[in-house]
Amino acid sequence: VPWPGNKYHIFLDGTNQVICSRDGRLHICDADKDNAQQYIWECVEKDGYFGFFNTQTGKFIGHGNDGRLRSTAKHHNDWELMTARRHPEGGYELLMPFWWHALKKICVRDGSEVLVLEGHRTTRWQFVE
């Protein structure tokens, strides 16, 4: 379980791909091939929610109105709130509030490396210190 104060590589379950930040955009990349190493995330807590900020850039995982994930905020505000839920098949789902009425899951968009919020699809993640 992720925990505030710890630093993690957030792996796509069963792969060597991690959540990476590049120019404020979030995607998955091969952990062995990302020379910029913008894939280490420190867990923090606010109002019972987690937040993850990039240790290289100091910016939080968040999302925009379009549901695409990004890492551009220097503060842990509403669009950077996150919770983790253990999945029965292993790993964790990562969920973020979308407006005030729904929790949406962080997923890899089909056929791409882009991270988006989805209502019904599941992507499982692993946290490795």
In DSSP notation, 46-113 reads ETTEEEEEETTT--EEEE-TTSBEEEEESS--GGG-BEEEE-TTSSEEEEEEETTTEEEEEEEPTTSS
3-state secondary structure of 39: coil
Domain 7-128, CATH class in plain words: mainly beta
Nearest to 57 by CA among 42, 46, 78: 42
pTM for the model stands at 0.93
Q: Residue-wise pLDDT tens for the chain (129 aa)? A: 899 999 999 999 999 999 999 889 999 999 887 666 689 999 999 999 999 999 999 999 999 999 999 999 999 999 999 999 999 999 999 999 998 889 999 999 988 999 999 998 999 999 999
90 Cβ contact partners less than 8 Å away, ≥ 6 residues apart: 13, 124
